[in-house]
């Protein structure tokens, strides 16, 4: 069994503008990494995302980046043997892969697809994949609200 998922969002803006909102650390920090993003998502970069509403950091390695089209990240997976929200033991860590694809649907319309894969086929991996799927859908909604309307949807969300 391979644990993976994909979420999608259609954004009423040109692909270059949507891509820049993800790639550019100043823009990413306005709606998602609200504690700051350490740098642009260039191929080979190690970046750190911080969140004002969650403790800790989320370091990631940019495996590949094709400007305007695709970003592939690798970052730590955390397997939780109990459902999220219950008292949890320290997580087991290893890496998963995140793929972000940007497709022009029309001059003012972009489809963003975010897929993550690589969890271990255990109950802990399944629990963690569900949590990340929720997180990436939240990210997609926050991206859409910020790029289309200038609204920081994440503010006060958690």
CATH class of the 3-149 domain in this structure: alpha beta
Domain boundaries, the chain: 3-149
* 36, pLDDT greater than 70: yes
Distance, CA of 134 to CA of 34 (rounded, Å): 18
Q: Check residue 155 and give its pLDDT.
A: 79
pLDDT above 80: residue 98: yes
| pLDDT tens, position by position, 71-81 | 999 999 877 66
Q: Which residues contact 106 (CB under 8 A, 6 or more apart)?
A: none
Supply the pTM of this predicted model.
Answer: 0.89
Q: What is the mean pLDDT of residues 74-97?
A: 74
* β strands within 12-69, DSSP E: 36-37, 46-51, 54-66
SS3 per-residue string spanning 106-128: ECCEEEEEEEEEEECCCHHHHHH
pLDDT at 104 over 70: yes
């Amino acid at each position: 069994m391979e644990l993976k998922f994909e979420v999608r969002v259609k954004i009423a803006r040109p692909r270059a503008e949507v891509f820049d909102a993800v790639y550019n650390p100043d823009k990413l920090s306005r709606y998602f990494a609200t504690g700051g993003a350490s740098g642009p998502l260039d191929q080979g970069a190690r970046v750190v995302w911080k969140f004002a509403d969650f403790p800790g950091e989320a370091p990631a390695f940019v495996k590949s980046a094709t400007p305007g089209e695709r970003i592939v990240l690798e970052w730590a997976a955390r397997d939780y043997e109990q459902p999220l929200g219950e008292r949890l033991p320290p997580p087991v860590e290893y890496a998963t892969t995140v793929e972000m694809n940007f497709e022009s649907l029309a001059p003012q319309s972009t489809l963003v697809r975010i897929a993550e894969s690589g969890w271990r086929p255990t109950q802990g991996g399944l629990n963690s994949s569900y949590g990340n799927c929720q997180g990436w859908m939240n990210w997609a909604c926050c991206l859409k609200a910020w790029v289309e309307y200038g609204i920081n949807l994440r503010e006060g969300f958690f």
